[in-house]
Amino acid sequence: MDNSRLYVDFNELIDDDLVLLSQQDIKLDHKGNEITLFLGKQINVYMDDINENGVVDYLVASGTVELNNTGLFPICKWNLRINAKGIQHESDLEQNEK
């Protein structure tokens, strides 16, 4: 998995570990690079968030790209199956690395 991150809206969770990802096969990462989505691709995702002190603290997760075959939101082609680490604040990840 590379260091690029794709934006998702975690308010669009359709299961505890499944979030809507994209309507198309290509999605821009946080640097504006085109990322081609395909079944089984491992990716990192993020969403804007702010901590209790008003400081930006992204929500982040990693997982595997899946076709949206849930029957829900058919306009969306791709979902992300979030791995067992779940959705975390970026600051929590940094603290765990220390």
95 phi, psi to nearest 5 deg: -65, -35
SS3 at position 20 = strand
CA distances from 19 to 42, 53, 58, 75, 93 (A): 14, 27, 16, 14, 20
What tens digit of pLDDT does each residue of 5-55 get? 999 999 999 999 999 999 999 999 999 999 999 999 999 999 999 999 999
Count of domains forming the chain: 1
Q: Which domain holds residue 19?
A: 5-97
- What integer pLDDT is reported at residue 1 of this predicted model? 46
pTM exceeding the 0.85 threshold for the entire prediction: yes
